[in-house]
Structure 1
Amino acid sequence: MERRKRALRMLVFAAWAASVVLALRFGATAFDTNPEHLVGLLGLAYLAAWGPFFVFSTHGPAGTLGRFALCTATLGLALGALELPALLRLIDYRVVFTAPTPPWRRSGNQPDADLIYVREPHQRTRFRYDGAELYGLRGAKPWRRYNCELITDANGFRNPTDADRSDVVVVGDSFIEGLHVEADDLVTTRLAGLLGRGVVNLGRTGYGPQQEWNVLRRFGVGYRPSACVWAFYEGNDLQDLHEYDANQKNLRYILDSRRAEGAYGRSFARNGLGFLIRNWIRPDPTRPAEAYTGLFHDRDGREIPLYFGTGIQHGSGGPDFPRGDSPELKRVQAILADAYALCRENGVDLVVAFVPAKLRVYRDFCRFAADSPCNDWPSDDLPDDLRRAVEEIAPDVGFVDLTGPFRASAASGGLAYLPDDTHWSEEGHRIAAEAIAPVLERRLGRLAGDPVVAPARR
């Protein structure tokens, strides 16, 4: 008889545990799960798991409740020990779990009404990450682990010293900030060497045309430059117009410093559960790397796999191809017209540089699988369309199409773009500087005596 009761209890325990697990799994996968929802589900599952113990326990009410309290307190203390470093700002679990975090919430950044986010001034830190093309591709192999030092000036831009004045300012996004290469290899550093003049880097990762206009207005003209280079990246600058609009609608949330600095954002529970959701409960769909790989022969005869996973996504908030007559390009033209007016008012020459996407540069020099979408991904005449848009603003606005120099490098086996990322390699920064420098030289002219170099004051 006793054996039957024990077997029945074991059966009930097993069935109950299975029911709790199934309910937790269904709740976590069937609904729009986030860390807060999962906390509630786990709490309910924990209480439910104790149900059979309370029903069948032979320890009496006091013994049963005592065991429940002891187990719960132990788990609470363990969680508290993990949360304490985040509470004391010793650990940010967003970094530990590589949590997708909007830039205005990341360490070293601050929210900003005009720019959405800015970097803190005079910081010195290192970024370590894998190439962006690897995400979402199964079987993709990293080219290398990127490990780059970021030193910011008084305005939070990637310049090793503060400058009161500079002959040239360069406005742009992640291609100009260049967090995949060291400071000595940046396009701005190389431009300064080629021109023998001061060049200030005003690029910032994640910025789009509206933010770049605000950078020029708030910071650029303050350097009293003779020339401004505005880098337009075809890969996402048109999409960024919509992202900026969306962020402006959520500006109240973005500027809420309590959210940005709160311990909950850094907590183990929130970020650990987010990691669980992203990697186990609701992982993003992946695609086979082979379909998005182009085999490229470099100058040494090596066959290098180039990945194009992020560069051919359609319907990502940007205009359909061809983009030359799109409302987005017209908005960019209007922004550049405002930039031109501001530059002219301050005696600055404006030069627009077209930065091509990696696929535009390398598709003709790679061998793809027969069924690869890279073969059929549409292309357009955006470089010429942007050139015409710039010419319509004013005849004295300069324009540099970097497509030709980069394709010439690719034709000779050069790796101007990183194999596993969308950005320039060290060679790419050099090529861009060498293409832009002659245009600036003609516009700046030859000054008598020593060139103006931005003085350092730290």
Structure 2
Amino acid sequence: MRLKTIIPNLVIVFIAGVFVSFLLLNISNKKYYTDSGVDIFIHFILPVLLVLLALSALRLSQDSRLVIANVFFAFVMAVYGAEWYLTATLESSKTGADGGVGDTRSKIQVIEDLRAKGVNAYPAMRALSLLVDGDDGQVTSDLQSGGAPLLPLGGIAEKTVVSCNESGRWMIYRTDRHGFNNPPQAWDSSPLQIGMIGDSFTHGNCVPPEKNMAAVLRKRFGGVVNLGISGNGPLIELGALKEYLVPLKPQTVLWFFFEGNDITENTPYERRSPLLMSYLLNDGFSQNLMARAGEISNLYKGYLDKYMVKAINRTVTPYVKFMDFLQIYNLRRRLGLNIVSLGVFEGATEEDYKLFAAVLKKAKTLVESWGGRFYFVYLPESDRYFGVTPNNRIRERIHSRMMEMVSGLEIERIDVSEVFAAAPDARTYFFFPGSHYNERGYEAAANAVVAVIKNGPSDRSGGPISLKIP
């Protein structure tokens, strides 16, 4: 009988403690929120009200408190059961293009199967997979050359690589002479028409090379070099521009910005790397990567032969997976609540925006120094179009800040979010919530670029662009 009294009280106190934790977390991260009435209510007033409501339940009868405890327990079990199901579904049973269950092999299994057939395959590498945290709070490259850190900004050159699987089929392709996702002849174009800078969306995850944005632009304009690599942020991208595009001097440079993580995750992480910051702060800094392709490939092969599993799993540690599960990441994403949930923030600080602006200014100056044109291309993520909150406040805030930044720097822009918003159903541009674009999405984004470059740029103040929806 005593347990029947104690357990409901403990559950109610626990519920109140959860809301207190939300409040304390929001207070400690108040710099990520605006001073709008909605933000103040959601992040500060509502948790207080919920704490008071939970504590007031202690005044209810014993039977009522027992009902609350049972309902809460059932709710928690249902929520985490749904999270477990969604996590398992996304991990192991992606749907193929024909509607059936796709290739559920892991990346390691695919590589081993290819090697068994005589194909010397490797994982698609990225700079992010080489960066490690130091005891001093800085991040440095795990790859060494002559006793000094070396951070390649491309993958392993002229090898068959296994990239990703979101469609039910693994993306497998052969890298170019510098480790990027281009045809072999891409680097021979003279003059080079277009250079592309960006992350996994620019790279073309997770579609065949002939279906990504670079392929669409290549068909229309000819010479295109795509330097997109998964996980890239602004400092890595500036480094790629300085290492590879400055020597080539393309007529047009497209800087692709992905609103999902470029400013909220990649910028604060990359600024912790002294090597990457050197690309911004030191005009003469270079790792001479273009001339070291052979050395980089040999170092990569030695590193991957020894640490392949570590390199593949570096950014998806058991701790990260556990924290995602604890925060019901996949369920919130499916419901469109991953940004506005209490205590779960994805914002950016003023320091992050200032750093990004400095990077864009440096990139624009470099491109214009050889007479090239510099475009900023804004790529939206899937959260805008799935779930119960289509008007994502924090994503709109990022969009507004970036458009204001680009306008202030007098950079010509191409806003793909406008194109997707005008589509009958933008969800058809994605494989599933949280995925990269599918073939149709990449085509729509590339056509937005084609329309601006072909028909003339927008005014430098960032005025609206009228585009046809494919």
Picking from 120, 144, 162, the partner of 1:126 is 162
Aligned ranges 1:36-115 → 2 under 5 Å: 103-104=129-130, 115=151
- Conservation of the 8 A alpha-carbon contact between 2:161 and 2:175: no
Aligned partner (choices 402, 405, 415) of residue 416 of structure 2: 402
Specify the alignment match of 1:21 in structure 2: none
Would you tell me which structure has more strand in proportion to its own residues? 1
Letter of the 1:179 partner, please give it: N
Aligned match of 1:383: 399
Change over 3 Å in CA distance of 1:285–1:123 after alignment to 2: same
- Please tell me whether the aligned partners of residues 110 and 120 of structure 1 are also in contact (alpha carbons under 8 angstroms): no
**Quick check: 2:194–2:254 contact (8 Å CA) kept in 1?**
yes
Identify the match of residue 226 of structure 2 among 176, 195, 201.
Answer: 201
* 1:285 paired to 2:335: no
Shift of 1:375: 8.4
The one-letter code of the counterpart of 2:325 is P
Measure the CA separation in 2 of the matches of 1:400 and 1:258.
Answer: 36
1:334 aligns with 2:358: yes
Would the alpha carbon gap of residues 222 and 420 (structure 1) be closer, same or farther in structure 2, given more than 3 Å must change? same
Aligned to 2:432: 419
SS in 2 for 1:230: strand
The C-alpha deviation readout for 1:126-177, integer Å capped at 9, x for no partner, is: 3354x5xxxxxxxxxxxx4341113211111100214233201111000000
Residue in structure 1 matched with residue 200 of structure 2 by the alignment: 174
Match of 2:442 in 1: 429
Q: Which structure's relative contact order is higher, taking Cα pairs within 8 Å and 6+ residues apart? A: 1
Contact 1:114 1:211 in 2 (8 A): no
Assess, with a 3 A threshold, how the Cα gap between structure 1 residues 190 and 357 changes in structure 2: closer, same or farther: same
Does residue 319 of structure 1 match 2:344?
no
Q: Which structure is larger by alpha-carbon Rg, 1 or 2?
A: 1
Q: Which residue of 1 aligns with 2:408?
A: 392
The amino acid of 1:171's aligned partner reads I
Q: Distance in 1 between matches of 2:205 and 2:367?
A: 28
CA contact (8 A) 1:353 1:400 kept: yes
The aligned residue for residue 160 of structure 1 is 183
Distance verdict in 2 for CA 1:355–1:249, change over 3 Å: same
The residue aligned with 2:100 is none
Amino acid in structure 2 at the alignment position of 1:230: W
C-alpha spacing 1:310/1:204, structure 2 compared with 1 (3 Å) = farther
Whole-angstrom distance in 1 between the partners of 2:427 and 2:308: 42
Aligned to 2:35: none
Q: Deviations over 1:324-357 (max 9, x none)?
A: xx22122111111111111111111000001122
Question: 1:218 aligns to what?
Answer: 243
- State how far apart, in whole Å, the 1-side matches of 2:223 and 2:201 are: 19
Partner of 2:396: helix, strand, or coil? coil
Question: Residues 216-255 of structure 1 correspond to what in structure 2 (within 5 A)?
Answer: 216-238=241-263, 239-248=265-274
**Structure 2 counterpart of 1:69:** none
Sort the Cα spacing of 1:308 and 1:426 in 2 relative to 1 into closer, same or farther, 3 A.
farther
- What SS class does the counterpart of residue 380 from structure 1 fall into? helix
Q: Is the 8 A contact 2:160 2:174 kept in 1?
A: yes
Distance 1:223 1:329, change over 3 A: same
Cα distance in 2 for partners of 1:258, 1:186 equals 26
Task: Note if 1:261 corresponds to 2:303.
Answer: yes
C-alpha separation between the residues in 2 aligned to 1:341 and 1:356? 26
Measured after TM superposition, the shift of residue 284 of structure 1 is 6.2
Instruction: Select the residue among 360, 365, 371 that pairs with 1:347.
Output: 371
Q: CA deviation at 1:196?
A: 3.4
Pair 367,186 (structure 1): closer, same or farther in 2 beyond 3 Å: same
The structural deviation recorded for 1:407 is: 1.7
Cα distance change on mapping 1:224 and 1:430 into 2, 3 Å: same
1:110 touches 1:119 (CA, 8 Å); kept in 2?
no
Q: Provide the aligned C-alpha RMSD in A.
A: 4.3
Q: State the shift of 1:199 in Å.
A: 1.5
TM-score in terms of structure 2 length: 0.53
